[in-house]
């Protein structure tokens, strides 16, 4: 036996070592001992057995007396008796504790005993040995014991080099090698956690949603951009769904105001203001569940209208690589302009992006970035976060006070939006890809967007097609990025109006401003039979 205590694995190999010889045969049919011994003799056997020392009870001898009684003696005494006894019909009984319960075959320990007897008493090979296979216990007076009459072979090898042994146990595959028992699931806390955290998911699949694909959820690689209140909430819910691979992107540090709202941070992270959120969040996830593969990337997201990002092409390439390497992108930053580049790159790489945005008492959860082919309408893509806007994102932090820079929202809104973002992802991934708005999966519908209002506790699920002049996901923007990347990014970072000019939004707004507006009064409506409208 070998014990690997670091991994809680126990290796063992059972062996019942036995000489391969001497060869013997049964001289006649085995019989139950109770058919040969009288009750008195059974009583003498039981008493004699109890008088032996424990180590002597495995092998011993019995010699009958002239009066018909029995004398129980140790193995050494029995061998000495055989040496001094020349009468072949008075060799008594050789007794061994038999682990076998077969009626016609004694157990393997008999092989070793016969070898010992022949070694010390070679003359016995010409005799028929009466062997008692002692079975049962003294309380039952060994009533299950068998009597074998054994004829030994005349051949016996005493040369130690030629002696062979048998008795090694085979494993379940019939091979001669050790078995092992893996107790890590019951003794290793990490394995215990892995088994326990999946219990709710397994019960959910077993009792409620048998078609639920938990493997595709667990194998998904999730990129969380923004490790704030929303990012922490999304990460915790992803873990609860069994996701194993989570990467955070953030360039902020944990402050004293964060721990009460952002569930992955502690007061100790705030001391000296020197702990990056992305690193701390990844570390805490591994503390919560050691099986999680979590990584923190400290980087800032290059943003339109921020001239300081003009030479930040390295972060653009890094962000593009991270989005390409992950399956789902959660856009959870706290400004509109910081969502632009991840939205554009998610569309470029055809990756599922889920945006969650907060108001004081409202929230928006939206999926976008993946092409969807609707045969009936010909629509190829659902709208992204910027498709309903007609202005490009600019620097929203310029000349803003601290209270204006922070997202001011009711505390529960972020938890609701973060949870919905994860539930939307899990529902979407059940259908894999090419998911139309409000398609149905085993968990229910898969909406395009979810808009909620806490003030009156209402929620709606509208969907919109992509806007062909969108400043983030339109083909014009994607192609300009691919064809003249450096020039395109420089223009975006320095010129707040560049994206509007590129996509034609500027011309569209100018045309709208030049449209004449007609109003009809009530009398005009009555006379014409039409309805009041504004063009």
Catalytic residue among 222, 232, 233, 406: 406
Q: Which of 176, 150, 280, 291 is nearest to 228 (CA)?
A: 280
406 catalytic, yes or no?
yes
Q: Is the Cβ–Cβ distance between 177 and 171 less than 8 Å?
A: yes
Give CA–CA dist 331/344, Å, rounded: 12
Identity of the highest mean pLDDT range in 157-166, 408-417, 418-427: 418-427
- pLDDT, residue 529, reads 41
Q: What are φ and ψ of residue 499, in 5° steps?
A: -65, -35
Long-range contacts of 402-406 (CB under 8 A, 24+ apart): 406/334
Give CA–CA dist 383/479, Å, rounded: 18
Q: Are strands 93-97 and 128-134 parallel, antiparallel or unpaired?
A: parallel
Number of H helices, E strands in the chain: 19, 22
Is 70 exceeded by the pLDDT of residue 159?
A: no
Q: Is the Cβ–Cβ distance between 435 and 448 less than 8 Å?
A: no
Give CA–CA dist 56/253, Å, rounded: 76
- pLDDT, residue 508, reads 78
Tens digits of residue pLDDT in 416-436 = 999 999 999 999 999 987 788
Q: Using 50, 70 and 90 to split pLDDT, how confident is the model at 524?
A: very low
Is 60 exceeded by the pLDDT of residue 53?
A: yes
Q: What are φ and ψ of residue 32, in 5° steps?
A: -70, 140
Tens digits of residue pLDDT in 353-402 = 999 999 999 999 999 989 876 655 555 678 999 998 766 676 655 555 44
- pLDDT, residue 123, reads 78
Is 70 exceeded by the pLDDT of residue 533?
A: no
Tens digits of residue pLDDT in 287-335 = 999 889 999 999 999 999 887 777 778 899 999 999 999 999 999 998 8
pTM for this entry: 0.66
- pLDDT, residue 160, reads 63
Q: For the residues of 167-183, what is the DSSP string, one character each?
A: EEPP-TTS-SS-EEEE-
SS3 content of the chain, % helix, strand, coil (to 5): 40, 20, 40
- pLDDT, residue 125, reads 73
């Amino acid at each position: 036996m070998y014990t690997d205590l670091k991994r809680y694995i126990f290796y063992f190999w059972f062996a019942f070592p036995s000489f391969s010889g001497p060869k013997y045969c049964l001289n006649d049919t085995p019989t139950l001992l109770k058919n040969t011994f009288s009750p008195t003799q059974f009583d003498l056997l039981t008493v004699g057995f109890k008088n032996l020392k424990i180590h002597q009870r495995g092998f011993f001898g019995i010699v009958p007396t002239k009066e018909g009684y029995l004398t129980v003696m140790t193995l050494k005494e029995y061998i000495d008796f055989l040496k001094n006894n020349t009468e072949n019909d008075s060799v008594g009984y050789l007794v061994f504790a038999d682990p076998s319960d077969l009626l016609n075959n004694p157990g393997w320990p008999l092989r070793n005993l016969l070898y010992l007897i022949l070694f010390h008493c070679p003359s016995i090979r010409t005799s028929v040995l009466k062997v008692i296979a002692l079975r049962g216990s003294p309380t039952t007076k060994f009533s299950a014991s068998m009597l074998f009459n054994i004829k030994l072979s005349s051949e016996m090898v005493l040369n130690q080099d030629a002696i062979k042994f048998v008795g090694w146990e085979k494993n379940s595959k019939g091979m001669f090698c050790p078995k092992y028992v893996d107790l890590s699931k019951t003794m290793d806390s990490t394995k215990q956690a892995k088994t326990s955290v999946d219990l709710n998911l397994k019960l959910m699949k077993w009792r409620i949603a048998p078609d639920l694909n938990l493997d595709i959820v667990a194998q998904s690689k999730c990129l969380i951009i923004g490790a704030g209140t929303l990012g922490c909430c999304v990460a915790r819910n992803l873990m609860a769904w069994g996701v194993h691979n989570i990467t955070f992107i953030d360039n902020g540090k944990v402050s004293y105001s964060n721990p009460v709202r952002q569930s992955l941070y502690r007061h100790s992270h705030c001391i000296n203001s020197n702990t990056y959120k992305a690193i701390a969040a990844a570390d805490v996830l591994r503390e919560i569940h050691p099986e999680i593969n979590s990584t923190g990337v400290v980087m800032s997201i290059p943003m339109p209208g921020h001239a300081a990002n003009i030479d930040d092409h390295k972060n653009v390439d890094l962000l593009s690589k991270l989005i390409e390497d992950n399956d789902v992108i959660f856009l959870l930053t706290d400004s509109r302009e910081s969502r632009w580049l991840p939205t554009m790159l998610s569309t470029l790489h055809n990756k599922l992006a889920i945006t969650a945005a907060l108001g004081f008492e409202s929230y928006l959860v939206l999926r976008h970035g993946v092409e969807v082919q609707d045969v009936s309408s010909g629509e190829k893509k659902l709208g992204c976060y910027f498709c309903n806007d007609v202005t490009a994102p600019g620097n929203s932090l310029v000349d803003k006070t601290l209270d204006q820079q922070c997202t001011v929202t009711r505390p529960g809104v972020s938890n609701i939006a973060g949870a919905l973002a994860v539930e939307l992802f899990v529902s979407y991934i059940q259908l894999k890809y090419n998911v139309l708005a409000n398609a149905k999966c085993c968990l229910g519908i898969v909406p395009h967007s979810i808009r909620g209002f806490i003030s009156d506790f209402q929620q709606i699920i509208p969907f919109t097609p992509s806007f062909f002049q969108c400043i983030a996901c339109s083909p014009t923007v994607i192609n300009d990025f691919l064809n003249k990347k450096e020039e395109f990014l420089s223009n975006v970072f320095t010129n707040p109006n560049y994206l509007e000019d590129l996509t034609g939004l500027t011309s569209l707004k100018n045309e709208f401003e030049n449209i004449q507006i007609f109003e009809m009064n009530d009398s005009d409506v009555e006379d014409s039979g039409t309805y009041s409208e504004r063009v």
